[in-house]
Structure 1
Amino acid sequence: MGKSERYLARIDGRLLRALAHPLRVRILELLRADGPATASGLAKRVGESSGTTSWHLRQLAEYGLVTDDVERGNRRDRWWKAVHEGDQLHGKDFLDDPELAGPFSAYAHTLIEQRYAAESRFIGELADWADEWIDKVNFHDSSLSLTPDEAVALSDEILEVIARYRRPERDGDTPVRVHWAAFPRRARPERP
């Protein structure tokens, strides 16, 4: 098993169906970002009942995305944790299956909405960050002219850099969110 395989869940058709529900994606994101939690704790954070979050947690567990946190909990409180730190999804895996078009679209849109929400939260909290972080934050957006093979090579290099920085948490660390996407855009020049 490669290093990235331990950290990332490779999304196949089966997992895609499990993640086509926005609440499941949100629950999984919270477990990955903030660590183990109970169904009732997650319910408060997502504005749902603990019965609803409990049901979705069991669904995520059935697909191997979350598991019981055996170091926490008791008969009264069941704690859950994410199995992987993130997901790896290749759109080409779903192009030939029309039954996966809907789940793929739902999952992809949910991810984009959550990325936007995370960046918006940060901007709203900007004044709360210590001086040591204010000039270190980077939002980057570029347009490049690339071949498909060059786009794959670029993504592979970026993911290798991210993997080099992956390590256990240490004192003094701050959780940092890293987003990466490379996708084509149709040119729409203005016509005279």
Structure 2
Amino acid sequence: MGQPTFHHLNVEGLKVLAHPMRIRLLGLLRTHGPGTASGLAQRLGESSGTTSWHLRQLADAGFIEEDTERGNRRERWWRAAQDSTELRERSLPEDDPEVQDALVAYMSHIIEGHRDRAIAFVRSRHAWDEPWRHTSSMSDWLLPMGADEARRFFAEIEAVVERYRHPAGEGDQAFAVQFQAYPIETDQ
């Protein structure tokens, strides 16, 4: 496994990913590998025409690419072009309402996807073999921090994740790690 690759999200890419179907399609291709419009449509309960259109939008924006090693003239396969999407929010214009609406939509759809993944695990955890059934955590903490301290905290979390990034070995299981941290108002 080489270094992970990132799609650095710009305004145009943000607008493409502000649609929940596209986020789901990109997530499926990144998690489960290459797929066809019809196969992805079946997984999502959508028509292949709908998924095909959204796949072309993702390809035009550089999120996915055709997998030319698979398929034939009748069957077009797609794969993720990068391992991950990186949002550098400071690079986006803060005074453009259309961009801010797209940002809210994108981030909301990401959170909904994380929620759905967590619920799917909770509902199926009884079916997992040991030790996986009890190898999960859903914790939250309320920590007082300054902005600089929060940035250091994020950097340390990312460093921990990178220490655990490696090629899958025998007995390894894909393990979803979701992280959310944000300031909240409290009655102090």
TM-score when normalising by structure 2: 0.92
5+ long unaligned stretches in structure 2: none
Which amino acid is 1:154 matched to? F
Which position in structure 1 is the counterpart of 2:142?
Answer: 143
Indicate yes or no: 2:79 matched with 1:81. Answer: yes
Return 175-184 or 116-125, whichever deviates more. 175-184
1:168 shift after superposition: 2.3
Deviations, residues 93-118 of structure 1 (Å, cap 9, x unaligned): 33233220111111111011111000
Match of 1:166 in 2: 165
Q: Does residue 41 of structure 1 match 2:39?
A: yes
What is the distance in 1 between the residues matched to 2:83 and 2:180?
17
Matched residue, 1:17 = 15
Q: Which amino acid aligns with 2:9?
A: I
Match for residue 27 of structure 2 among 26, 29, 36: 29
Distance 2:149 2:30 in 1: 31
CA distance in 2, matches of 1:176, 1:108: 21
Unaligned runs of 5+ in 1: none
| Percentage of identical aligned residues | 41
Q: Which of 70-79 and 146-155 deviates more? A: 70-79
Calculate the aligned-residue CA RMSD, in Å: 1.5
* Cα pair distance change 1:159/1:20, threshold 3 Å: same
Q: Deviations over 1:46-66 (max 9, x none)?
A: 121111111111110111100
Match of 1:101, as an amino acid? Q
- The CA distance in 1 between the partners of 2:131 and 2:112, in whole Å, is 28
User: What does residue 177 of structure 1 align with?
Assistant: 176
Q: Tell me the equivalent position of 1:132.
A: 131
Separation in 2, partners of 1:10, 1:159: 17
Q: What letter corresponds to residue 68 of structure 2 in structure 1?
A: V
> Per-residue deviation at 1:188?
3.9
Cα shift at 1:134: 2.3
Indicate the SS of the match to 1:173.
Answer: coil
Partner of 1:93: 91
**1:170 partner amino acid:** G
Q: 1:82 to 1:178 in 2, by over 3 A?
A: same
Letter in 2 for 1:55: W
